[in-house]
Chains A and B, each alone.
Chain A
Amino acid sequence: MKPIFLVLFLISVLSCNTMDMDEPGNLVPKTVDLDSVLPSITINGTKLHAETFGDIHNPIIIFIPGGPGTDFCALINRQGTPKQSRYPDKRTLHNLGLNQLQDEYYCVFFEPRGAGLSPRFDKGSLTIQQYHDDLNAIIDFYLEKKYAETGIQDEKVYLAGHSFGGLFVTSFVNKYSTRVQDVILFEPTPLSNEVMDVLIQTSVFAMLNEKWLNEYLYSLEHLSYDDHCRADYHRILGFSGGFPELEYPEDVPLWRYGSFANIDLAKGTYEAEDYDVTSNLSQFSGRALFIKGGKTRALDDAGWNLQISYYPNHQSVTIPNTGHYMLWENPDLTVQEIRTFLSE
Chain B
Amino acid sequence: MRKIITLIIVFVCIQSLNAQNTFNLDNKSSSIYLRSGIEPTVGFALGYMQSLTIQSIEKKLVLFGEISGPKKDFGFNNYETKVGGIINAYKYKNFGITYNLNFSTGHVSTKNFGSQKFAFANKLLIGYFKPKWYIVFTGEHEKIFANKITNTQYYRDYIYPEAKDGWYNGAGGNIQLGLETGLTIKELVDVRFELKIPKSEKFNSYYGSPAHINLIFAYRF
Contact = CB atoms under 8 A, between A and B. Distances in A.
A255 interface: yes
B170 A27 contact: no
A222 B108 contact: yes
Q: Which of B71, B149, B166, B201 has the most CB of A within 10 A?
A: B149
A219 B150 CA distance: 13
A128 B149 CA distance: 35
Given A28-B160, A223-B144, A252-B158, A20 B111 contact: no
A122 to B, nearest CB: 11
A83 B157 contact: yes
Interface stretch (B16-24, B49-57, B112-120): B112-120
B103 A7 contact: yes
B15 to A, nearest CB: 14
B27 interface: no
A14 B204 contact: no
Nearest to B174: A224
Nearest to A29: B160
A123 interface: yes
B37 interface: no
A148 interface: no
Contacts of A312: none
Interface in A1-15: 7, 10-11, 14-15
Interface stretch (A160-168, A204-212, A301-309): A204-212
B42 interface: yes
A226 B204 contact: yes
A244 interface: no
B111 A237 contact: yes
Interface string A235-275: 11100000000000001111110000000000000000000
Given A20-B169, A236-B112, A211 B73 contact: yes
A25 interface: yes
Given A28-B160, A230-B172, A254-B158, A225 B166 contact: no
A90 to B, nearest CB: 10
A224 B201 contact: yes
A224 B40 contact: no
Interface string B124-160: 0000000000000000000011110101001001111
Nearest to B117: A222
Contacts of A29: 160, 162
Interface in B40-87: 40-43, 70-73, 78, 80
B69 to A, nearest CB: 8
Contacts of A33: none
Nearest to B41: A217
Nearest to A230: B171
Contacts of B94: none
6 contacts: A21-B147, A26-B163, A29-B160, A221-B117, A225-B207, A231-B207
Given A234-B207, A236-B112, 7 more contacts: A15-B169, A21-B147, A216-B110, A217-B70, A225-B206, A226-B200, A227-B172
